[in-house]
Amino acid sequence: MEIADRTAPAVIVAIDGPSGTGKSSTSKAVAVQLGLSYLDTGAQYRAITWWMVHNGIDTDDASAIAAAAGKPDIVSGTDPAGPTITVDGTDVAGPIRTAEVTAKVSAVSAVPEVRARITELQRALAREAVGGIVVEGRDIGTTVLPDADLKVFLTASPEARAARRSGELKGSDVHATREALVKRDAADSSRKTSPLAKADDAVEVDTTDLTLQQVIECVVTLVGEKRAGQ
């Protein structure tokens, strides 16, 4: 493994793509290897969705969601070796991964007031990151950090993504998982505010036939090339 070069130029890396493409595993590993901070923006949207559910907000009512968007205190830890997320001081790393939150996060994330609130948090964390940061999500290169030093868009076939996600969820049905992923893609890609999209200047990496280590090495190489050109 490459040793982190603390004297290297600070770099902001945006990694976007749909679920099941390896974003989280790749982003965390790249951040660890290069000595950068790490932010899982999806966890932030899951956190605010969890708060809405926990506090009885109707997640089918966009106006109710908008009115409550500024209430929860969401704090993200950016250590890639142990990323954390709390809401109003409560550790929600586990609760935000439930099926209920997963089913409702797209609807909550589509509300403009929610995206504005979370985007503000994300930009602040990127500004404060010493040495640089790897930020993963669905609209980082296009909306949140359009001036990121490097933008990567990960893709993979629906079948490969479903197989990976089913493996993570141990025992889940691959076909049902594939259908859920396709439905999530459609919702994220068609929303009016900050849809899932590849930035014009992003490097697309198809992970369908690549091992995780190969994807990590690819992104690390891209970061090295970007730093060399700075």
The pLDDT of residue 5 is above 60: no
Give the chain's domain count: 1
First to last CA, the chain: 23
Residue 103 has pLDDT above 50, yes or no: yes
Contact of 176 with 54, CB cutoff 8 Å: no
Q: Give the distance from CA 164 to its chain's centroid.
A: 17
Which has more pLDDT, 188 or 213? 213
Q: Give domain status of residue 148, yes or no.
A: yes
Q: Is residue 226 situated within a structural domain?
A: no
Confidence class of residue 190 from pLDDT cuts 50, 70 and 90?
Answer: confident
Give the residue-averaged pLDDT of 109-125.
96
Residues of the domain holding 55: 11-218
Residue 152 lies in a domain: yes
pLDDT at 2 over 50: no
Predicted local confidence at residue 54, as pLDDT: 97
Per-residue confidence (pLDDT) for residue 6, from 0 to 100: 54
Residue 225 lies in a domain: no
DSSP 73: -
CA dihedral 27, 33, 38, 42 (to 10 degrees): 20
Q: CATH number of the domain at 206, please.
A: 3.40.50.300
Q: What is the pLDDT of residues 39-94, one digit of tens each?
A: 999 999 999 999 999 999 999 999 999 999 999 999 999 999 999 999 999 999 99
Give residue 32's pLDDT: 97
Pair of tokens at residue 172: 């889940």
Please report the pLDDT score of residue 1 as a whole number: 41
Whole-model pTM? Answer: 0.88
Specify the pLDDT at position 188.
80
In-domain check, residue 224: no
Whether 9 shows a pLDDT value over 80: the answer reads: no
1 within some domain = no
Contact 11, 150 (CB under 8 A): yes
Query: Could you tell me if 100 and 92 are in contact, meaning their C-beta atoms sit under 8 angstroms apart?
Result: no
Task: Give the model's confidence band at 230: pLDDT under 50 very low, under 70 low, under 90 confident, else very high.
Answer: low
The pLDDT score that the predictor gives to residue 166 is 72
Rounded-to-integer distance, Cα 190 and Cα 196, Å: 8
- Residue 69 falls inside a structural domain: yes
Q: What is the bridge-based pairing of β-strands 84-87 and 74-77? A: antiparallel
Q: What is the pLDDT of residue 3?
A: 45
- Contacts within 8 Å (CB) and 24+ apart, 162-165: 162/20, 164/20, 164/22, 165/19, 165/20
Q: What is the pLDDT of residues 131-189, one digit of tens each?
A: 999 999 999 999 999 999 999 999 999 889 888 877 666 666 788 888 888 887 787 88
